[in-house]
Structure 1
């Protein structure tokens, strides 16, 4: 496919996402199934245009003076694809599958409008109702933080120290552009895409199949380190999902002690079995039935709860989610978080720790949840977050997360990671 056909496909997918209010990944998958002639390179470029358009939906629309899917897709080429209008027109010339050219009026608006003059939430590329939540956390920096959540993300890898070293992984992935990630000695990073390029499929690499590394954002890796699991301990990963943090904890524990990985949603838990085998993890048991956990009440040194949340900290990777999010969904997540904390606390032994993690940047899901939990559970106290950060990331220097009234908050702008909240709560001995 030439650029014209790829651009037209992106426009159709953006229309589908907007009309049916569905995840971008589903819309892209369905388009690929219906257009099997499209190769991997075609699908990658189409996906880039779609995700770039969704990340910067408001700012592109403001500069174009149009929210039409065609104009947004063109704007994505002009911004993140680093193409000029002349280059786009040259690429689309004589392409019968190309969409109609960009209107002169839209192009004139693009060239004349200065984004610095746009309203704050548009410069931040966030829904207007979310702006107060970000401002409450980041203060005067909230627009810059929001804009960082609208940038293309890197691909972060966690070196599996049960099988490999970072030097070994870097050597294997040198051709993929892998380099040392910031902050962590056990992390590798492939930089964000440029223009219409595509990331290498690292999961097709022999090193991945051998279990030398896992794909895991830097912030998620830091959350595992802050949990502080040690060899020989008893640990419960209460909302384990596909097992990313479980694997990280197993490596920290050097396969000694015991990890119990639980998730109430069996489809989310299903990938963990292959991942555990590939990574060489031997100290983990997987549970999908809540009744299985009764025997562990009051027995765990650490209970990690990666609670369900709005995912506002991951908008770089799932930008469509920020446009589907509503205040009602936020309220539902807050209820679920309280339920998770209330359920998870029963497994913590005296003197043990309950680690509360979300990938959200909203206070009502984070420090306010911790505040309510401490108020209702006087036998718990919070561990000071600053020493935890320094211990987990000893080489950070002046780089630091935000420390609100409770816990710590990571963000792309401050810690070069997705957005995460982490709080460690200790039960009285």
Structure 2
């Protein structure tokens, strides 16, 4: 495909996403219908789509229209690419610009638009981030890095770097995080690399790794990852903690990958169904990585911030309170309940924890961490609460 044809495909995908479809699903459907497109074509189209979604409001302002075509035109203008090298350039590219399109477009004229956030969300974002609100929002326009967790029971960071290099993948240590590597070249090769297949590394954002290290001082013989999903944090705990590790998710299907991932990493994780939790208690540490808006990770899934509604944000709060209420009964006296989200919003983080502590006075807050999205990690929140002895 020509570069112009890739932009034309991105416009078609964006129009479906802007109409309410999932970006990932729409890209997959496009690829299946267009088998002629090679891996480099698909990767370029995906990058164009996600770049446009990260900066949707400001780019549509620059492009003079709220369509996929307007977003791509705005993207070209922001990146200093002459639009006529894409629009009307032939090679299955998008049609030439109309006089109105060529003359249109302007800088966004509200703070919410400059922040590339919905109008209703901007005050909530400001309340949570204060003076950092605009800087963080604008930083979210850029792609997040690819980070790996090295299984220290299997290899050192240097071993993992060498193993990745054998597959032409260049990775460097992340300062102050003893398990983390940042991939700086050939990141798309990681999943097919020998280092990944042999269990030396797992794909995991640095923020999650920092949170797991924060829990290392919690001494517990039995640890439960209560909202485990695919088991990333349970795997990290199993690699670093000398404890029996258990994993649970209310949707048992989400835990299907834990067993093969644990086998690859050389660790043991016992998966528990909801009905079996009562027989497995108590646990010295229960980690609740609760369902949330994912606002700290919107660089990776930018269509999520445009699909989120105020009602959905409120519903997440209900889910988060419910998760803590369920999990607290699984914690042994003197044990620890850890609450985590990948959100940066106060009403999903401190508000939930403060409400829980007001209702469950046997718990007290002993540690708190809030990471804002940055060059070496996503946004993340962690509150560590200890349960009193009887």
TM-score band, normalised by shorter chain? over 0.9
C-alpha separation in 2, matches of 1:258 and 1:295: 15
State how 1:392-403 maps to structure 2 within 5 Å: none
Matched with 1:396 is none
Q: Quick one: structure 1 residues 242 and 257, their matched pair in 2 at CA, closer, same or farther if it must change by over 3 Å?
A: same
The more displaced of 173-182 and 132-141 is 173-182
C-alpha separation in 1, matches of 2:127 and 2:89: 48
Q: CA deviation at 1:56?
A: 0.4
Matched with 1:225 is 213
Matched with 1:397 is none
Which of 129, 142, 149 is residue 120 of structure 2 equivalent to? 129
Matched with 2:71 is 72
Q: Quick one: structure 1 residues 83 and 166, their matched pair in 2 at CA, closer, same or farther if it must change by over 3 Å?
A: farther
C-alpha separation in 2, matches of 1:211 and 1:229: 25
Which of 134, 143, 146 is residue 137 of structure 2 equivalent to? 146
Q: CA deviation at 1:57?
A: 0.2
Residues 148, 180 of structure 2: 8 Å contact kept: yes
C-alpha separation in 1, matches of 2:284 and 2:372: 28
C-alpha separation in 2, matches of 1:361 and 1:98: 39
C-alpha separation in 2, matches of 1:224 and 1:160: 13
Which of 302, 307, 320 is residue 324 of structure 1 equivalent to? 307
C-alpha separation in 2, matches of 1:71 and 1:114: 13
Matched with 2:362 is 379
Matched with 1:292 is 276
Tell me, which stretches of 5 or more residues in structure 2 are unaligned? none
Matched with 1:106 is 101
- Provide the aligned C-alpha RMSD in A: 1.9
Which of 86, 90, 93 is residue 94 of structure 1 equivalent to? 90
C-alpha separation in 2, matches of 1:5 and 1:325: 31
C-alpha separation in 1, matches of 2:215 and 2:24: 31
State how 1:181-196 maps to structure 2 within 5 Å: 181-191=174-184
Say yes or no: does 1:355 pair with 2:338.
yes
Q: CA deviation at 1:107?
A: 4.3
Q: CA deviation at 1:180?
A: 1.6
Q: CA deviation at 1:17?
A: 1.2
State how 1:1-400 maps to structure 2 within 5 Å: 1-19=1-19, 21-79=20-78, 83-85=81-83, 87-88=85-86, 93-95=89-91, 97-109=92-104, 113-114=106-107, 118-174=109-165, 175-191=168-184, 199-228=187-216, 233-253=221-241, 256-282=242-268, 284-287=269-272, 289-297=273-281, 299-383=282-366, 385=367
C-alpha separation in 2, matches of 1:243 and 1:78: 42
TM-score between the two structures when normalised by the length of structure 2 = 0.94
Residues 49, 77 of structure 1: 8 Å contact kept: no
C-alpha separation in 1, matches of 2:54 and 2:266: 37
C-alpha separation in 2, matches of 1:268 and 1:103: 48
Q: Quick one: structure 1 residues 267 and 73, their matched pair in 2 at CA, closer, same or farther if it must change by over 3 Å?
A: farther
C-alpha separation in 1, matches of 2:319 and 2:219: 31
C-alpha separation in 1, matches of 2:348 and 2:216: 22
Aligned length: 387
Tell me, which stretches of 5 or more residues in structure 1 are unaligned? 386-406
C-alpha separation in 2, matches of 1:135 and 1:119: 14
TM-score between the two structures when normalised by the length of structure 1 = 0.86
C-alpha separation in 2, matches of 1:409 and 1:231: 22
Residues 382, 426 of structure 1: 8 Å contact kept: yes
Deviations 1:195-240 (A, max 9, x none): xxx7422010011000001101111111212222667621000000
Deviations 1:54-92 (A, max 9, x none): 000011012222212112123334445x63436546xx6
Residues 263, 269 of structure 1: 8 Å contact kept: yes
